[in-house]
Structure 1
Amino acid sequence: MKFNFPHPFVILLGFILLSWIAAYFIPSGSFERILDEATGREIVVADSFQEKEKTHLGIEEMVVSIPEGIILGSDILVLILIIGGAFYVVEKTGALQVGVEALIYRFRGNNFILLILISLAFSIAGATIAMQEEIIAMVPVLLVLSKKLEYDIKSIVGLTLGSSLLGAGFSPINPFNGLLGQKLAELDVAEGLVFRLLVFVIALSIWTFLMIRKGKSESSSQEQLNFKPTTIGWRNGLILTLSLGGILAMGWGITQKDWGYNEMSALFLVIGISCGLIGKLGINGTAKTYSEGFGEMIFAGVIVGLARAVYLILEKGQIIDSVIFALFSPLEGLPDQIAVVGLFFSQCLIHIPVPSTSGQNVLTIPLATPLMDLLGISRQLAVLSTQYATNLMDMLTPTNGGMMAVIAAAGVQYQDWIRFIIKSWLMLLGISLISLFIALIWFS
């Protein structure tokens, strides 16, 4: 009898049920928190954990948490719908197809270079603005690129989403992970910059090579591709310029103007409508196409909300701090290497119920740094172990709504995604552990 792997909706509902069961059996507890003026965030006070009276959640509270989680993720849901609708309009004008064909013709015979540049570009986006949810709306572009290059769509997702997550995880300048961790650990932002850059370059090079090699279809060859000169034309050129300009403007707004999801949504609403009119879809045609784009992206948006519901239930049950305390306490008194490995895998496990990288930094770094001080290890190890673990797990854990939404929009089954990346992911895991051992010496 053939086993049918659960649908992503079923997987996340299963995690919601498991979180509710965990909230029933795991003792409730919490750490004291104080406001850190440097970061403007609440941080945990070390050695302040106290058990609390058990909070039991009823079945109705579990079920209600599902729509509450979707509502909490409504800003991302709206962003996904609006940006996804905008790119759907761009695709229907034909400009996207022409643009990708022109790009491929430009790199005819050098697809390897094209894919390297794509991986590099997305790794930089991950390293600087932690791009993830924004990639959901770019899936139509990725699908066209996959088809034209005759590359497995899972490889293209790996070179975009995977490279972005890798960039965020190994970057020395990611404000939501590395830089935030440095501040919370009271370390100089520039400390360890060279070490992080070296690990980043090594990890990205290996990942990119593996994704390109794995993605090439066995039935296709470079000679089979039909390269034809493509004229973009002024109309398609203007549409593509607006689309690219929107992506660049979004990056500028996030980094320079502290934009949130609403500002990004508003920007692409204007871009989507403008591209439809320029592409001669007409007012009604643009509106109809945009609404069809909503339909294509709605499930990807709901996935993000379901992932948030998992964290919401654990938060209501007041067991997140209990889990962190239980994972960190046994590390005291262990040899340095074992303690660092234990800290790394503890951070991996914590990231399943706490899918926010910045949130996990705020929760765990204030607890990990005193542990490092107690063991006589540099606080850099507390930051590095958290930084590597969170974004590596972002590639795997179903509670990462962004990843689940991207693969869902690309038509990739969760089990197929895991099967495709697992060997490459394990290699990144090995690189992370080796770099942590080297860091013990580097920062001693």
Structure 2
Amino acid sequence: MVANDSGRLSVVPGTYQIVESTANLTPWDLLQVIPRAFAAAQDVIFFVLIVGGVLAVARATGTVDALIGRMLERFGDSPQKLIFAVVFVFAMASSSIGTAGEYIPFVLILVALCKAMKLDAMTAVGMIVAGYGIGYGVSAFNPFTVLIAQQIAEIPVYSGIWLRFAIFLPFVLIGFHHVWQYTQRVQKAPHTSMMAGIPCPLDNKPVHTYPQLNGRHKLILASFVAALAIAVTGIATQGWYLYELGAVFIAWGIVTAVIGGLGADKAANKFIEGTSELVMTAVLIGVARGIALVMEDGQILHTLVHAMSMPLSHVSAELSAVGMLVIQTVLNTFIPSGSGQAYVTMPLMAPLGDLVGVPRQVAVLAYQFGDGFSNMIIPTNAVLMGIIGMAGVPYSQWFKFCLPLLAKLMLASALVLVAATLFGYGLDVQPQISAVVEAANG
């Protein structure tokens, strides 16, 4: 691997070789992986703790309860409208600016809202993660995945955007239908809920009344919208991520405490209470990152990538495109970073596509699908583990809920890839083979 212009390590095609000897990992190495994993995932861990503390401050002002009451008045009789709105909006945000961990602040709010509507936490998580995963999978111009993959594949950035726009709504509808179908079943027969017998992370006592949304609450909500606007602007123009976003939420927490008249002592105590409730979630995130570290230390990532890519040279172009989807999906378990996966796999998949007749634009699309959709279910995804941990949803139950959705999305993705290959999607921007050969020869 060599450093590219951006300083990231990228694979050089044709350089795979088997090393003569490697150092075997010992039990002591495994034990060291755990603290290293916590250090590697510290940005997500501390962001989750900060968000939990700040939301506890907001709850203490009564704003969250008042907002839930207002939304109940609007969506109480039509949860399908709420589900579609959340899936659509979150998918749009992930598709355009690559939001993911930014959804964590909404988890407890949606769990509380679903609880008030006599739905379960699975519905709340389903809305969030379906939007997040589908947005990444069919992204029009996500700067962390699509644009990086297109640059590595040496095709114009933003090219082929018309197809990604065209498939956005159909894929969103697949996610919405899956969550809504589950919700209908739970409404008709509450005992069929996948969360039956599992404690809710919120107070188990039903809340029958909510405070009215007054001027102070509206001011706090306005400051929250302003904080989100600042965060989105920072992400889009300044390259902000979780450290900066954590600072934005701390600032919003201070503003909320002042507007809500909590006082310094009460605000500090509420913040500590909020963070303490999410310690288990923080541990889950660290352990999830440790799985990927073991794979890296064992030097098996590139072996997996190389071995999986070889069979594609023996099948048709259409099947090769679907094979790329399968490979990217599997590899996302070991490389949960979207940009990291692009730097490892696209330098191999792009020239491989040239050999088997898969346009590079289609190879990029297969990478998008494989990375985005599998983010919804892989246990090494720190953001996913943070969301389900905060909502109190066991991974085993989430896996049962999400696996059928992933199967639907993968089937739809395979059909799109086959059609895209047949109709020559991306051939208008395909690099000339001579140029590819010259680049490979160095």
Structure 2: how far apart are the matches of 1:382 and 1:58?
38
1:332 partnered with 2:313: yes
Structure 1: how far apart are the matches of 2:237 and 2:72?
33
In structure 2, give the amino acid aligned to 1:51. I
Structure 2: how far apart are the matches of 1:152 and 1:108?
14
Range 126-135 or range 388-397, more displaced: 126-135
Q: Secondary structure at the match of 1:50?
A: coil
Q: CA deviation at 1:127?
A: 0.9
Q: Secondary structure at the match of 1:189?
A: coil
Which of 187, 194, 201 aligns to 1:218? It is 187
Structure 2: how far apart are the matches of 1:146 and 1:69?
33
Aligned residues: 407
Percent sequence identity over matched residues? 29
1:282-321 maps to which residues of 2 (within 5 A)? 282-321=263-302
| 2:350 alignment counterpart | 369
Once the two structures are superposed, residues 19-72 of structure 1 have per-residue CA deviations (whole angstroms, 9 ceiling, x without a partner) of xxxxxxxxxxxxxx23332x5422111001122221211111111111111011
Structure 2: how far apart are the matches of 1:111 and 1:275?
29
Once the two structures are superposed, residues 362-414 of structure 1 have per-residue CA deviations (whole angstroms, 9 ceiling, x without a partner) of 10000001111111221112111111011211111111121112111101111
Q: Secondary structure at the match of 2:187?
A: coil
8 A contact 1:69–1:312 mirrored in 2: yes
In structure 1, give the amino acid aligned to 2:276. G
In structure 2, give the amino acid aligned to 1:381. V
1:260-275 maps to which residues of 2 (within 5 A)? 260-275=241-256
TM-score, normalised to structure 2, is 0.87
Which of 318, 324, 340 aligns to 1:343? It is 324
TM-score, normalised to structure 1, is 0.87
In structure 1, give the amino acid aligned to 2:158. A
Range 41-50 or range 132-141, more displaced: 132-141
Structure 1: how far apart are the matches of 2:241 and 2:406?
31
Which of 23, 47, 56 aligns to 2:24? It is 56
1:74-89 maps to which residues of 2 (within 5 A)? 74-89=42-57
1:107-186 maps to which residues of 2 (within 5 A)? 107=75, 109-186=77-154
In structure 2, give the amino acid aligned to 1:54. T
8 A contact 1:91–1:140 mirrored in 2: no
Structure 2: how far apart are the matches of 1:312 and 1:418?
22
Structure 2: how far apart are the matches of 1:248 and 1:384?
30
1:191-230 maps to which residues of 2 (within 5 A)? 191-216=159-184, 217-219=186-188
Q: CA deviation at 1:197?
A: 1.3
Structure 2: how far apart are the matches of 1:287 and 1:185?
50
Q: CA deviation at 1:109?
A: 4.2
Structure 2: how far apart are the matches of 1:408 and 1:384?
31
| 1:386 alignment counterpart | 367
8 A contact 2:318–2:422 mirrored in 1: no
Range 105-114 or range 180-189, more displaced: 105-114
Q: CA deviation at 1:219?
A: 4.4
Structure 1 pair 229–288 and aligned structure 2 pair: CA distance change class (3 A): closer
| 1:21 alignment counterpart | none
Structure 1 pair 140–229 and aligned structure 2 pair: CA distance change class (3 A): closer
Q: Which runs of 5+ in 2 are unaligned?
A: 191-206, 428-442
| 1:435 alignment counterpart | 416
Q: CA deviation at 1:324?
A: 0.9
